[in-house]
Amino acid sequence: GDKFPSAVTHYYDLFDYIGQHLMLPAPTIRDGMPNMYAGLLILILLPVYFFSSRISLRDKLGHIALILFMIISFNINILNFIWHGMHFPNQLPYRNSFVYIFLMLAMLYPATAFIREIKGRFLGAICLGLMIITLLGQKLNDTEPSIQSIYVTIIFLVIYASVLTLDKIRKLSRRDMARAVLLLVTAELLVNTLLMVHEIDSNEHYSSREGYASGNQVKEIRSIIERIEDEEEQLFWRMEILQPKTTNDPYLYGYKGLSLFASTAAEAPVKMFENLGFHSNGINSYKYEGSTLVLDSLFGIKYLIRRGSTTTVDDRMRVLIEENEHLLAYQNPYALSPGLLGTNALQTWRSAPGNPLEAQNNLVQALGGLPEVMMAVDQQQAVHDNLTLNLSGTNTYRYSRIDEGQKSTARIKISSDFSQNMYIYLKVTANQPEEGFVLIDGERISFNARRSTMVDLGFVEAGANIEFNLNFGTSAPKDGQFDFYSYSLDEQAFEQSMELISRRSLDVTLVTSRKLEGQITTDRDGVFMLTIPFDQGWTASVDGKPVDIYAIDDGLMAFDLEAGSHEIRLKYTPPWFNRSLLITLASVILLLILYRLPYGPGGKRRFGLPVIFKEWQIIEPDKNTSKIYGYRPLKTAVFDQDIEASQEQNPDLSDDSAVADHEANSTEVVADFEADSMETTIDNDVSDAPKDPVDTV
């Protein structure tokens, strides 16, 4: 949920976070520890950074504080909640871990300039210490690193120790040293990436683009969507696709749908849609994986695309508008407006967990329709395979598998006394069943039985032989239960109900990404309900006067409306948007102030030296003044080419001799800052400026 944590809790032992810096860490997808791996080189540079005398104590303490704060943020529930926008994310946790990686890279980059000054024994000791810590992770970590992670990490640490001490063994130019390190870092990241991609594919499985984002079927889907949008005169309508490829098919194919997966989605509307029969993860997503014509009509789903050129579902209450070898497209003539005036019973309507088909009946009645547009259909057990099945209550079946080493099948017969549209709803514990299908006179309708779902059986003739099949694999538990509901649609009651509800619906005149406007005329007072999930960012006005929006079943927006003709306007602004905008502007202004603070009029620096000057020798002709009159670059990357050229001419020349030779033969660069209106004064940083040549990479 989105409630602020009432107590402080810790997730992991702090020592466990060390293992997240090793190669091949367990990928954090649904749960787990933060992704903190950014290359082994940062672990080697960490001691170099903190033992370097070139880096001020203030910088070291500041960075230690930031690192500890980030790790504590990962480990304490309240800080983790705040980091994620007052929300606990569903799957993909620790989405702020990239900030930690950026901090480490930015902090340790300067240490690369000093690594050649470090003695080989010290670098070897660092790598050896990291190997020991890697091995200890097997024994001490609660989340034990994989054996592959340990082996690959140790191998690369040995290689790093060898490469970083190459110039201690033989003469090596800066350029060659840089190339060797670059090659090693590239090899490490490449090996880690390839192995991690393989692991994710083995556990999660990558989807084929065919039928997902490419292929003839996808081209036809996009083409039909484009034609519908061009030809549709109605301003507000929805569309869905069966079978869905993702929870966010509306975003994948670019149509206006109901399905949604959003990390910031509120939990209450998700629960409501789940109670109505849509598939849901119970936290922040609901998906159109099966529905009824009743639900489609209430929520304005006007178009339905079925994948495949053939289907055993006889969808005769919708209008077939497109048929080809890849899909079938239907139009729902009963789809309603997004704004519906219901009775006062809407205020107390609740979509309680249990029977979603009855929840739909109750919603239709609360909106002014007839009491029962769908009716329960009798069931009876058939012959089962390798299990016993007992009915507990009205619709709950308890099963016991006889031989756990063999597959099992539960079968239930469904009566069909009249020719009518029929629906079933299966409520199961996730991933216990292996497969589900319904046989109608031998014609098979398959569905995803690994999770609770609604199935549209289409139009079924009277007297048809209907058999529900639920298969369990060898990994299924020995005992369990599932709820099974079967209903038929009363076509006459349904059409009358849709007609009654549509009489008091919103005539939409404007639809944008943030606004919805329309007109309504009603002969009675009531509750005006919008089939739009409740969000605090919405505001509403009736005839120009603001009205208070409240939530129906914590899921849908509504407000009270009196009889008469009204102009209704709704507008959406993200909660806290104005405050967030002010904070952003204030942050930008503060950043500009901090940037300009060291400078006086005319761009003259009041105090401090830019970081780059700490690698340059300061030239002060007048020792009694604090003004910089010039500067001279020492062994920086700019001069590396000249130094290396000297070494190529004289291979026996050492680095220091090459620098001295270069400086003796080069012209000193002096810049008169006063002439360029860049007179600069120095404060504390002058004392930190190197008085001897600085040996940098």
Question: Is the predicted pLDDT of residue 112 greater than 80, yes or no?
Answer: yes
Q: Which CB contacts under 8 angstroms, 24+ apart, belong to 190-195?
A: 191/23, 191/152, 191/156, 192/23, 192/24, 192/37, 192/152, 195/24, 195/148, 195/152
The 3-state secondary structure of 495-509 reads: HHHHHHHHHCECEEE
CA gap 117, 174 in Å, rounded: 12
Contact 325, 390 (CB under 8 A): no
Question: Is the predicted pLDDT of residue 143 greater than 90, yes or no?
Answer: no
DSSP character at residue 183: H
Question: Is the predicted pLDDT of residue 65 greater than 60, yes or no?
Answer: yes
Q: What is the mean pLDDT of the chain?
A: 85
2 pLDDT band (50/70/90 cuts)? Answer: low
Residue 672, class by beta-carbon neighbours within 10 Å (0-12 exposed, 13-18 middle, 19+ buried)? Answer: exposed
238-242/301-307 β-pairing: parallel
What pLDDT shows up at residue 439? 95
Q: Which of 169-173, 191-195, 329-333, 474-478 has the lowest mean pLDDT?
A: 169-173
CA dihedral 451, 454, 455, 461 (to 10 degrees): 140
Query: Of 533, 566, 690, which is closest to residue 616 (Cα–Cα)?
Result: 690
Question: Is the predicted pLDDT of residue 674 greater than 80, yes or no?
Answer: no
Give strand ranges (E) for 350-494. 374-376, 379-381, 387-392, 396-401, 408-414, 420-427, 435-440, 443-447, 453-460, 466-472, 479-489
Q: How many angstroms separate the Cα of 561 from the Cα of each of 337, 511, 522, 526, 546?
A: 16, 21, 9, 6, 12
Q: Which residue has the tokens 């009651």?
A: 493
Q: Which DSSP helix (H) or strand (E) runs through 215?
A: none
435-440/420-427 β-pairing: unpaired
CA gap 112, 178 in Å, rounded: 10
Who wins on pLDDT, 110 or 610?
A: 110
Percent of the chain with pLDDT over 70: 85
Question: Is the predicted pLDDT of residue 660 greater than 70, yes or no?
Answer: no
Who wins on pLDDT, 640 or 90?
A: 90
Beta-ladder partners of 479: 400
Tokens of 61: 């303490």
Section 127-149 average pLDDT: 88
Question: Within the chain, how many helices (H) and strands (E) appear?
Answer: 19, 29
Q: How many angstroms separate the Cα of 193 from the Cα of each of 25, 103, 359?
A: 11, 21, 49
Task: List pLDDT tens digits, range 561-581.
Answer: 999 999 999 999 998 899 999
The domain locations on the chain are 16-203, 374-489, 607-688
Task: List pLDDT tens digits, range 166-191.
Answer: 888 887 888 888 899 999 999 999 99
CA gap 354, 351 in Å, rounded: 9
Beta-ladder partners of 630: 619
Helix 120-140 vs helix 147-164: angle between axes, to the nearest 10 degrees? Answer: 170
Question: Is the predicted pLDDT of residue 87 greater than 50, yes or no?
Answer: yes
28 pLDDT band (50/70/90 cuts)? Answer: confident
Amino acid at 540: A
What pLDDT shows up at residue 645? 52
Residue 586, class by beta-carbon neighbours within 10 Å (0-12 exposed, 13-18 middle, 19+ buried)? Answer: exposed
Q: Which of 177-191, 390-404, 496-510, 610-624 has the lowest mean pLDDT?
A: 610-624
CA gap 345, 304 in Å, rounded: 31
What spatial distance separates the first Cα and last Cα of the chain, rounded to whole Å?
52
What pLDDT shows up at residue 673? 34
Question: Is the predicted pLDDT of residue 681 greater than 50, yes or no?
Answer: no
Residue 311, class by beta-carbon neighbours within 10 Å (0-12 exposed, 13-18 middle, 19+ buried)? Answer: middle
Tokens of 43: 């672990």
Cis-peptide, bond into residue 347, ω within 30° of zero: no
CA gap 234, 231 in Å, rounded: 9
CATH, domain range 374-489: 2.60.120.260
What pLDDT shows up at residue 236? 95
The 3-state secondary structure of 76-115 reads: EHHHHHHHCCCCCCCCCCCCCHHHHHHHHHHHHHHHHHCH
Q: Which CB contacts under 8 angstroms, 24+ apart, belong to 549-552?
A: 551/268, 552/346, 552/347, 552/349, 552/527
Q: Which residue has the tokens 């009041």?
A: 606
What pLDDT shows up at residue 420? 94
C-alpha 184: how far from its chain's center?
Answer: 32
What pLDDT shows up at residue 615? 40
**φ, ψ at 328 (rounded to 5°):** -125, 135
Q: Which residue has the tokens 């994986």?
A: 289
Task: List pLDDT tens digits, range 518-555.
Answer: 999 999 999 999 999 999 999 999 999 999 999 999 99
User: What is the chain's percent helix, strand, coil content, to nearest 5?
Assistant: 35, 25, 40
**Sign, CA torsion 73/75/81/87:** positive
**φ, ψ at 392 (rounded to 5°):** -115, 105
Q: Which CB contacts under 8 angstroms, 24+ apart, belong to 227-233?
A: 228/303, 229/255, 232/302
Percent of the chain with pLDDT over 90: 64
CA gap 411, 408 in Å, rounded: 10
Cα within 13 Å of Cα(136), Cβ side: 11
Section 606-615 average pLDDT: 42
What pLDDT shows up at residue 650? 60
